[in-house]
Each structure stands twice: as structure tokens, then as C-alpha cells.
Amino acid sequence: MQQFTLGLIQTDILWEDISGNLARLYPRIVSAQGVCDLIIFPEMFTTGFSMHSATLAEPVDGFTISTLQAWADQTGIAFCGSFICRDGDKTYNRAFFITPMQRFFYDKHHLFRMGSEPLHFDAGKDACIVSYKGWNISLQVCYDLRFPVWCRNVNNNYDLQIFVASWPASRQSAWDILLRARAIENEAYVAGVNRVGSDGNGIEYRGGSVVADMKGEIIAQATPGEEGIIVCTLRKDLLNKFREKFPAWQDADSFEIKQV
């Protein structure tokens, strides 16, 4: 599949209201049917960035994922975002990629210590690259964006890297710059989806949801501070042509990530 169409939903999030957030989003999902191959939500899109994991965590077959699966089956659209997941005796900020046929998951590796996330969540250990409709897609969550080694594209293993986030307005410039940097250094499309509004802790968010191409150029952009969905079509032929013309990936340093 040479073309792949994304829908980035930049939305406010009702604080700790799982069913309410899903209900608010459903009309936008229906309107994207037949248009988008993949819709991307912000980080913890059904709760906001809450540390009340003990009361909000759901199993992987709980209400959020079951609802998304029903939407995927109904519309033919795939969905990506993250939610608070309980898995055995552990709790994760878990990213998902739900299609009509398959489910993929990635547990956030870099937990945001300044927001006490390590006190309430377990860190994931494994990277995740999803193969879907001829595209290889890397899943990342928010704070992972600051760590280029973890995000590194080795031998063009992925074509698109997705960052779902609850990134505060006070650090907006870092979000804007790092997304473009990840696209440039990895010679891949990058999609960053951030929320707007304010959360239950009074933290403000301005969005800044964008798609950058393999040269770091912004090719789609949401209006700062406003809810909405932006649609962007990616082209594999342009990506491959650039990688062939400017094969910096062939000169990348080798490394091995070891868990400690």
C-alpha cells in the first residue's frame, strides 16, 4: 500500500471519565469512516494523565479495548493511543494498535518521574513495531520522545513513528523541536498527537499535534489549543526515494540496548 491516511484527533479529555470520553469521540470516528486507515488518540485518552492507576486500570479485554475493537470492526479503521492497563500484578501506561483483525500493544518504557509516574506504573521493556497495510509503524508514548537511542530506526525497520502524548504547554517548544528531530535523524514519517485543555491537576495543554515527513518538514498541523481532527496521507514512494537519494541510515552507529 503506497498511500496511508492518518487521522490525528487532538481533543480535550474528561478527567477520569472512561465512558464519557469514548462517547465524545464516537461521532468523529463515524465521520472518518472511508477516509482514514488509522486514527490516533492522545496518551491516556480515556482518563487524562492520572496517577490513580489503582482505581482506573482496566484489563486488556476491558471496556476501552473492547469498544475500540467494536469500532474497528464496524468502520474498518485501525486505532492507536494509550490507556491505563492492569496486567496481572502490574500496571502499565499501555499503547495499543487495534485493527479489525489484530491487536498490538506497547508499554511505555520511559516513565515521567517529574509527574510521579514510576510510583504508580511499571515500565515496559520491549519496543514494538507494527506491520500494517504494507507500513512498519513504531509505537511510542510521550516522554519516550526525549530519548533518541530508544527511538532509533535501525536499518529502516519502521516507516512511521507515532508519539501519543499528554505534553504540557509549559514545555511546548521541546515537543515541537523533538518531533522534527526524530523524523530527521530516523528518515521516517513522525506523527505526534497531543491533547488540549486542562486536567484534574490544573495542568494546561495546547496540543501541537503534527505530522512531519522524513526531512523534518511539517506536512499536517492541528490548530494550537483547539479540538479537531487533522487528516494526512503519507506516501511510501516519496519515503523510499528520499532514503535512496540520501542514505544516511547506512552510516548510523551500531549499538545494543540492554535492560538494567
- The set of catalytic residues is 43, 108, 142
* Coil vs helix vs strand at 143: helix
CA gap 122, 225 in Å, rounded: 31
Q: Are strands 90-98 and 78-87 parallel, antiparallel or unpaired?
A: antiparallel
What are the grid coordinates assigned to 136, written together?
Answer: 512498519
Q: Write phi, then psi, for 133 (nearest 5 degrees).
A: 55, 40
> What's the number of CA atoms in the CB half-sphere (13 Å) around residue 125?
4
Residue for grid cell 499501555: 94
Closest CA to 208 of 160, 159, 168: 168
